Amino acid sequence: MPLRPEMKPRNPWPAAYARFVLALVALLLIGWGTGQWLLVLLLAATGVLVWDFVNLRRLEHWLRLTRKLDPPQSAGLWGEIFDGLHRMRRRARDRDKQRRSLVRNYRDSIRAMPDATVVLRSDFRIDWCNQAARQMLGLQWPRDEGQRISNIFRHPEFVAFLARYSREARSLSLPSPVDGRLWLEVRLIPYAKKRHLLLARDTTALRRLETMRSDFVANVSHELRTPLTVVYGVTETLEDEISDYPELTRSVQLLREQAERMKHLVDDLLLLSRLETGDGPRAGDWVDVPAMLDGVVEEARLLSGDRHHQIDLDATPGLSLLGNERELRSAFANLVFNAVHYTPEGGRIHVRWFADSAGGYFEVADTGIGIAAQHIDRLTERFYRVDNGRSKSRGGTGLGLAIVKHVLMRHGAQLKIDSKPGEGSRFTCRFPTRSLRQPLKPPAAAGDEVVNR
């Protein structure tokens, strides 16, 4: 009779010893009674051997041939052994059942997930995918099992994403291969040993909202531009006309200043929305950065005026950058002009452009007012200013660093900000090596030569 799981198996040995002693006594008595010691012993030993042999045979047969849970019935120690094996088999079967139901539950929950989920091997071959992956990514199951995901989902950005995945990429946004109107946010997550989980989320609604927001800002800015230009133009003319009325001059001057500020704001908003929506020319030309920086630094010196900053430029001659010249100029100028704005009179501003094995660097270091650590992470948010009054009084729009961030993003670059209040700041833009063209120089003259202007 099989034992129930909660019952602790009893120790069979006391009973086994008792049976052994009883059998021994019985043998002694029979041997003494019959006088046939040898025969009695032989018969007893043969009996034990046959009993063990029969039980061993039944056990082997049960283990090898039957999948039945119930073991053969037996008595004594063999009965206990069969019961023990039965318990083990039943436990193993229960565990197996539990495991299978756990796996089934997990699979069912992943299958029901609205996000596309694809299990990938180390070489990005497909192991498994859920229903949403078939709908969003156009995978076919089981036909695509074992295929490389990039053979099926061939979007160039996705293929490049996989190629640079191990180094930097974590997620990207792109249209669904099944329906171009669907936008997906694709993420790749490493797990277990060299496996990856590819998740794709439908972000169409979010993107539509985002587009609506930036369209709205772009439209309002566009509509404001013309009237502002008129107001600005009129104030300029008025200023000339009313030079004989000193009481009005100040008011018109104020009007012109405010109109100019609003014009800057509108221009920055328009530029930012163009950068956000990805309109306009993409990075595509070799930009002569040293020549561009000459111009930017020249303007910075004019901006500094009688505040007499010492502005130095160290740029590796001939080190060009693949990108959009207008966007890059706007970003670099923003950083250099910020250094002028936020560095007190006579301070030093050092502008550098150079490359090493990890990439190209545009760096602006100043000895200005610096920025407290808690602000640094938020500086590139639109309209984020450390000191509202100071920024506005010098005509700042609060959009400069947001523009810098977007331009850098479009050029695959990163911004790093190091700063200490009272000591100064260093803004470093790092561009990928693939976007650089090193100067072609004979080895002796090459190297990290930098021209100081």
Query: Can you give the binding site for ligand ADP, defined by CB under 6 A?
Result: 334, 338-339, 342, 366, 368-371, 379, 384-387, 391, 396-401, 425
Q: How far is the CB of 391 from ligand ADP (least distance, A)?
A: 3
Q: Are 129 and 196 in contact (CB under 8 A)?
A: no
Q: How far is the CB of 285 from ligand ADP (least distance, A)?
A: 26
Nearer to ligand ADP, 40 or 415 (CB): 415
Rounded Cα distance between 382 and 375, Å, is 13
- Bond preceding residue 317 cis, omega within 30 of 0: no
Q: How far is the CB of 226 from ligand ADP (least distance, A)?
A: 24
Q: How far is the CB of 268 from ligand ADP (least distance, A)?
A: 8
Nearer to ligand ADP, 290 or 396 (CB): 396
Nearer to ligand ADP, 198 or 275 (CB): 275
Rounded Cα distance between 430 and 433, Å, is 9
Nearer to ligand ADP, 279 or 377 (CB): 377
- In three-state secondary structure terms, 17 is helix
CB within 8 Å of 184: residues ≥ 6 apart: 116, 136, 137, 173, 174, 175, 176, 200, 201, 202, 203
Q: How far is the CB of 271 from ligand ADP (least distance, A)?
A: 13
Rounded Cα distance between 159 and 124, Å, is 11
Nearer to ligand ADP, 186 or 401 (CB): 401
Nearer to ligand ADP, 71 or 396 (CB): 396
Q: Are 426 and 363 in contact (CB under 8 A)?
A: yes
Q: How far is the CB of 330 from ligand ADP (least distance, A)?
A: 11
Q: Where are the alpha helices (DSSP H) in 66-155?
A: 76-112, 131-137, 149-152
Rounded to an integer, what is the distance from CA 373 to the centroid of its chain? 24
